[in-house]
Amino acid sequence: MQRTLIHAATLAPFLFASLAICACAESDAQKAPAPEIELRHQGLHGYIASRCEKSPIEFRYGAGFYSAVWQLVAQPISDFQIGLPSTWILPDNSDNRTEPLCPVGTIPRDSWPERGPTFDTVFQTLEGGLGYWAGNRFHYGPPKFSMNGTPDCYSNEVASPGWSFFYNTRPLPDNRLGIAQISNRLLIPPDGLPFSGAPSGEFLGYAYMALPLTDARPDPQPTGAFSWTLFLNAKNFKGPLAYYLPECWSRISHDYPTDIGRGLDARAASGDVAGSMEINTVPEFLATDKDGLVWTRIPELSFPVDASGRTTLVRDVALYSKAALYDAVLGWRRGGSAPKGAFTSAGTFFPKVVTGPVTYSQDEKPIGGINELVTPTVFEDSSFGLQWTKKQTGNIGRFPAYFRQNGKDRIAVDASVVPANLGLTERQFPKPTTTPEPYSAEPLAGSWAKPGPSAGPFTAKLVDGSLVTYSWYRFIDQPVFGQFAWSVADRAALQSLIERMHREWPIDGEYLAPPRSASGAASKPTLASFDANLFVTPPKGMEFGYVPIVIRQEFAPTSPKALKK
């Protein structure tokens, strides 16, 4: 099976054919050959990063913020990966100074000695968020939203109720599944959740909250009680979407007892949580002029800019204690009244956010000219973003797209100074394939087939050009739970809790606090909307306690069959 995800570290550069030389009166012998143009994939790298300053230990059981949503590139590009403002949540293992958390045989332990001796920064993370990823198969312009968790030292990644982080078209093995879908109204495609319209700086709120959906248990390995649950706040969807089972995090300790009690199933977060952009895999065209000077071009990266020359990337960073929602859910499980689901103000802490300069690089060489144009800044309302030093036209800020060798480094230059004979300005970056291989769990087998779905399959055509096939599963019968030998009582208790959530927590309720108005602003920030075709309605008799699980996502046929929801 051909994999479409290509990592920058393993890409083999390849040569494009020379540019055609215009016909002229001189003989072929007199014509100078056009320089060769090489396509590479290390055109830009860096972290536009923010972080929280030290926060109280009790506010480590949840974290979130509002992240800007916009179209970063004008057209989809093959093998392009940049995350819009997203986060990394790590378990707090600051009490461990010496013991390696990653066992022998994992990538960090064997290949990243600089992360030792504990390897705590690459042990477990909650990642994902908004972005463009090289592994995306269905491109449509704007970014997508995707969960992602790395539970075992980057040996595996879990990004949806069935699939990894775009690495394979087939689902994860049954014993590697880790996400349970909660929402009975929104589909979770393996290629990520697309947005409606043309977002240009609207915000998506999201937070992970540790909830006590199940009790700690001794098997299949000692497992804590933290179910890290994703809550969203979009214009057309609010509330919990899905959660990571505690067993997803404790699994690594099954054959490595050092990690018992050190994963996200049992540990609070490290506390250093804020939104950052990871510029990862960016294609570049490279050409060398007659004097041996290197010139390069990358895709134009665009950012929304307000009247003050600012791009707001992240706002309202919040950390949560158990008082935010954990305690109320625990009381609910034990027979108390149903909470409305809103995170309490008493359980919310707004940390101080800080930032610093960005070290941009290209082909592992430092590049200049970007920091002089745009500076990471924390604004007076505690939002984080970019301050542009020059006035931008049309409310759009643009990163430099052309660079020139400057000794051992590279420096940004204007397109007008690029030698015309190099042909860099005419080159078009490769587009993604228009017929990508589908994600598919069919034919259903293993945990997908036993107990199996209760209704379906049904289909929905999304704005990204894909056709999603899904079936309705009873919540506790969805594939992720098939790997566990839980008692009838334990299964019934969790099923009952989710049924009550479906009744009490509607998708137009209030969960995350709405975004706060900027200092001096006339109105509150606008929320982004998910693609309306992601929304589904449970079949009659399955209104509560059933969830729509995606079993296939493929390129939409030209004349699709009648779509049913």
Q: How far is CA 397 from the centre of its chain?
A: 23
Q: In this structure, are residues 480 and 179 in contact, taking their beta carbons and an 8 Å threshold? A: yes
For residue 70, the SS3 value is strand
What's the Cα-to-Cα distance from 88 to each of 57, 109, 274, rounded to whole Å?
Answer: 17, 20, 8
Q: Name the token pair of 475.
A: 């919540």
Q: DSSP character for 432?
A: P
Q: Provide CB contacts within 8 A for 561, sequence distance 6+.
A: 459
Nearest residue to 228 (alpha-carbon basis) of 297, 308, 299, 125: 125
CA 219, CA 410: separation in Å to the nearest integer?
A: 55
CA 4, CA 6: separation in Å to the nearest integer?
A: 6
Q: Name the token pair of 513.
A: 């606090």
Neighbours of 8 (CB within 10 A): 17
Q: Tokens 């290509």 — which residue? A: 6
For residue 421, the SS3 value is helix
Q: In this structure, are residues 395 and 407 in contact, taking their beta carbons and an 8 Å threshold? A: no
First to last CA, the chain: 31
**Residue 181: in which H helix or E strand, if any?**
strand 179-181
Q: Tokens 């143009």 — which residue? A: 37
Nearest residue to 530 (alpha-carbon basis) of 446, 442, 460: 460
Q: Name the token pair of 278.
A: 């990871």
CA 401, CA 121: separation in Å to the nearest integer?
A: 33
User: What percent of the chain is predicted at pLDDT more than 70?
Assistant: 91
- pLDDT for residue 271: 77
Q: In this structure, are residues 339 and 328 in contact, taking their beta carbons and an 8 Å threshold? A: yes
CA 163, CA 189: separation in Å to the nearest integer?
A: 9
- pLDDT for residue 35: 75
pTM: 0.91
Exposure string for 483-505, b = 16+ CB within 10 A, e = fewer: beeeeeeeeebbbebbbebbeeb
Nearest residue to 69 (alpha-carbon basis) of 81, 48, 84: 84
- pLDDT for residue 3: 33
CA 418, CA 293: separation in Å to the nearest integer?
A: 11
Nearest residue to 153 (alpha-carbon basis) of 256, 288, 279: 256
Q: DSSP character for 474?
A: E
Q: Name the token pair of 370.
A: 């970007």
Domain extents in the chain: 8-422, 442-507+517-555
Q: DSSP character for 498?
A: H
Low-confidence ranges of the chain (pLDDT < 50): 1-31, 520, 522, 559-565
Q: Are strands 38-40 and 284-288 parallel, antiparallel or unpaired?
A: antiparallel
- pLDDT for residue 274: 79
Nearest residue to 143 (alpha-carbon basis) of 208, 192, 78: 192
Q: In this structure, are residues 233 and 205 in contact, taking their beta carbons and an 8 Å threshold? A: yes
Q: Tokens 């931008």 — which residue? A: 392
Q: Tokens 């071009």 — which residue? A: 297
Q: In this structure, are residues 79 and 283 in contact, taking their beta carbons and an 8 Å threshold? A: yes
Q: Provide CB contacts within 8 A for 95, sequence distance 6+.
A: none
CA 144, CA 191: separation in Å to the nearest integer?
A: 8
pLDDT digits (tens, 9 = 90+) for 445-467: 999 999 999 999 999 999 999 99
pLDDT digits (tens, 9 = 90+) for 97-106: 999 999 999 9
Q: In this structure, are residues 503 and 538 in contact, taking their beta carbons and an 8 Å threshold? A: no
| Alpha helix (H) residue ranges in 209-286 | 246-250
